Amino acid sequence: MIILGIETSCDETAAAIVKNGVEVLSSSVASSEEIHKKYGGIIPEKAAREQLKSIIPVIKETLLKANLSFPKGVFEIDAIAVTVGPGLIGSLLVGVETAKTLAWLWKKPIIPVNHLIAHFYGNFLNNKTMEQLSNETIFPAVCLIVSGGHTELVLMKDHGKFLWIGGTRDDAAGECFDKTARLLGLGYPGGPAISAKAAIANETMKQLSNETIKLPRPMINDDSFDFSFSGLKTAVLNRIKNTKLTNPLITNQLAFEIQEAIADVLVKKTLKAAEKFNVKSILIGGGVAANDRLREKLKLDTRCPSFGSGNSTRLIQPCSKPDPSAGRQMPDARLFVPDKKFCTDNAAMIASAAYFNYHPVPWQKIKADPGLEITQIA
């Protein structure tokens, strides 16, 4: 089955063609990030206007890349999938109304997709290991979604069976990267900016041995699966209140510690959930899942090889022999790490989610829903 996915929930306009939920035939993304950079965050009206400019060219481009250009190639598309929420209303409307129009015009079924659930499906894209595994060997899985607007832990019992187990009580992990980067004058988006400075700090740490910066890891030992990142932002603010950030060594070390603190909390809670629910796999998704240090810490703490499509150390064997020296033993849990381009917003994950949760709806009933949540389907 060939699905055209359309994603316009925020500042990316994306379209993709995916075969059987796993094989990406083409994926195109246009971003208005450059426009928002000078404001230090996304301006919803500007994002919506850019969506409108980009939507048709992006869909055309992805059809062309997959050799399915209009009109002949369109016959080969079996269905259209579109993000209906959560997201910015102006942006969502562009994708939703375009998808509905195309579904009517081309007489294709249309599947509404929850953007958050779609992030899980980044793990299934172009991932040969995943393809070879049966559902029984993948599920139950614990999924960590970490993006600019969300930090959610979800137990995925099967395709279409989700149990939300925790989330952030205030700022999302990506938001914390973005806000602390702004405090440090590092620009937007904050995640990659912090990550780049943290890498420099790692190299030059010895030069700062007399001044080690330590930040809190909020709620790390708390019993729940919830998160809180606003305290971390305040701690950074307090740390720099009386300091002129003229010494790049301090900025870099702060960036390093911010990244460590966020990754430590995310990893600890994810592994706690994996243990409690005795899962067979750990999936990650969302823009922050592209963070190298988070990926590395997850790999180290599970002591498992990762099976991500974006990972060069892809192994076929699960981590069946736990390392006795490991602090934690996750004998049967596989860690999946999506290709970085499928962590940040894209439309291939939308098409994949629609394939594995195939519920077409008459186009007249499809509406953008900016506040859409993860519905409990257990």
Query: Residue numbers of the site for ligand KG4 (CB under 6 A)?
Result: 10, 147-149, 174, 177-178, 189-192, 195, 286-288, 290-291, 344-345
Three-class DSSP category at 139: coil
Give me the least distance between CB of 372 and Zn ion, in Å please: 12
Determine if residue 40 is left, alpha or beta; phi over 0 gives left, psi from -120 to 50 gives alpha, anything else beta: left
CB-based closest residue to Zn ion: 147
Determine if 257 is a binding residue for Zn ion (CB under 5 A): no
133-162 footprint of Zn ion as x/- string (CB under 5 A): --------------x---------------
Residues 17 and 354 sit within 8 Å (Cβ to Cβ): no
Give me the least distance between CB of 211 and Zn ion, in Å please: 37
Bridge partners (DSSP) of residue 18 are 3, 24
Q: Which of 171, 172, 136 is nearest to 280 (CA)?
A: 136
**Of 3 and 284, CB closest to ligand KG4:** 284
Give me the least distance between CB of 174 and ligand KG4, in Å please: 3
Helix then strand then coil, in percent of the chain rounded to 5, is 45, 20, 40
Tell me the C-alpha distance between 348 and 350, whole Å.
5
Determine if 345 is a binding residue for Zn ion (CB under 5 A): yes
**Of 13 and 344, CB closest to ligand KG4:** 344
Give me the least distance between CB of 295 and ligand KG4, in Å please: 9
Give me the least distance between CB of 266 and ligand KG4, in Å please: 10
Output the six-digit token pair for 98.
Answer: 């375009």
Bridge partners (DSSP) of residue 143 are 154, 283
Give me the least distance between CB of 86 and ligand KG4, in Å please: 9
Residue 308 contact, options ligand KG4, Zn ion, none, Cβ 5-8 Å cut-off depending on partner type: none
Tell me the C-alpha distance between 230 and 3, whole Å.
39
**Of 151 and 302, CB closest to Zn ion:** 151
CB count, 10 Å around CB of 96? Answer: 25
Residue 86 contact, options ligand KG4, Zn ion, none, Cβ 5-8 Å cut-off depending on partner type: none
The string over 82-94, giving b where at least 16 C-beta atoms fall within 10 Å of a residue's C-beta and e elsewhere, is bbbbbbbbbbbbb
Give me the phi and psi of 13, to 5 degrees please.
-105, 115
**Of 9 and 77, CB closest to ligand KG4:** 9
Residue 192 contact, options Zn ion, ligand KG4, none, Cβ 5-8 Å cut-off depending on partner type: ligand KG4
| Residues that bind Zn ion in the complex, under the rule CB under 5 A | 147, 345
